[in-house]
Amino acid sequence: MEELPISAAVRRLTPGEIEQFNEWGYLQGLPVFDAVAVPRLQKRLHELEALMPVGVPVSSVNMWHKANRWIYDLARTPAILDYVEDLIGPDFFQWGGGFFVKYPGEGNFVPWHQDSQYWPLSPRKTITASLAFYDGTRENGAMQVLRGSHRSGQIPHHDVSGEEYMLGQEIDADQIDEEMAVPIELKAGEISLHDEALAHGSGPNRGKSPRAVLTMRFSPTEVKADLDVWSTFESSMARGVDRYTHNPEARIPSGDACPVRSFQHSSDFA
């Protein structure tokens, strides 16, 4: 992978930030890449979109890190892994990597949900790092969260359908007070981190620029997938040592490809 310039502001998390994550369920605005790297990130995103089959949106598939060496290497940027390690310890693997891309006027949105609703993993300790490829603002559909909701347990969800939905389930409306929502606004090159049980969503892009993030899912090696429910689950070590060997291990990709059906949790992608 072409080396991308790292921000001079990169650091480790402070004790206060770790406490905030535990209390609020998220952190935002953590520096990773320098501003001069942003055009390269954006160019690469559009190259990856061009790899997709006709009519299949880049946001509709997951596990890019299993198919594409550039994404695999990007997710192993030391600054990103340092932040994750400060929250879940030195031994952890990556198991997910997918884009959420919204262009102006498209109308698609991410309904309110908890990530843990979708994942048959135990114990529940997944951290998501979301890397901004474009600036994310309230206007162009940045993620919103309900602060502290990760401490509320599993919240009732129901199925939804329609091309505008970027996920297939959402939290019941009577469980959400949108007046309490906090926007996670990121500059391109920054990341946010959030707990898998944090209630969050994002509205349609009503701005003039794209909103695009790459989500990278990391879990400590003690986490085990229920392979009877998720038969395609595989782990990719990100840092440290796997002393548990609970899960099948993915091969490191070597090419510049998009994910295929056999990588997905569902069979929607042809």
pLDDT mean over 179-195: 96
Over its C-alpha atoms, the chain yields an Rg (Å, rounded) of: 17
* Residue-wise pLDDT tens digits, 134-170: 999 999 999 999 999 999 888 889 999 888 888 889 9
Task: Specify if 113 maps to a domain.
Answer: yes
pLDDT score at 208: 93
For residues 165 and 170, give the distance between their C-alpha atoms in angstroms, rounded to a whole number. 9
Residue 260 lies in a domain: no
**Distance in angstroms (rounded) separating the CA atoms of residues 192 and 121:** 22
Return the biggest CA–CA distance within the chain: 48
Q: How confident is the model at residue 268 (pLDDT cuts 50, 70, 90)?
A: very low
In-domain check, residue 6: no
Confidence of residue 250 (pLDDT cuts 50, 70, 90): very high
Name the percent of the chain lying above pLDDT 70: 96
Residue 9 within any structural domain of the chain: no
Residue 81 sits at φ, ψ, to 5 deg, of -65, -35
| Contact indicator for 188, 43 with CB cutoff of 8 Å | no
Looking at the domain assignment, is residue 267 inside a domain?
no
Q: What are the percentages of helix, strand and coil residues in the chain, rounded to 5?
A: 25, 30, 45
- Is 263 domain-assigned? no
Which amino acid is present at 51? L
**pLDDT of amino acid 125:** 96
Nearest to 12 by CA among 104, 70, 85: 85
Average pLDDT over residues 258-270: 59
Backbone angles phi, psi at 127, to 5 degrees: -110, 135
Q: What is the model's pLDDT at position 269?
A: 33
CB 198 within 8 A of CB 220: no
Beta bridge partners of 30: 191
Domain harbouring 73, CATH code: 2.60.120.620
* 21-54: pLDDT as tens digits: 999 999 999 999 999 999 999 999 999 999 999 9
Q: Is residue 36 in some structural domain? A: yes
Give a yes or no: residue 119 inside a domain: yes
* Pairwise CA distance, residues 203 & 188, whole Å: 19
Token pair of 106, please? Answer: 């498209």
CB neighbours of residue 231 within 10 Å: 11
57 lies in which domain range?
Answer: 15-251
Least confident stretch, 71-80, 102-111, 126-135: 102-111
Q: How confident is the model at residue 95 (pLDDT cuts 50, 70, 90)?
A: very high
CB burial of residue 14 (10 Å; 0-12, 13-18, 19+): exposed
Overall number of domains in the chain: 1
Nearest to 214 by CA among 132, 138, 270, 158: 132
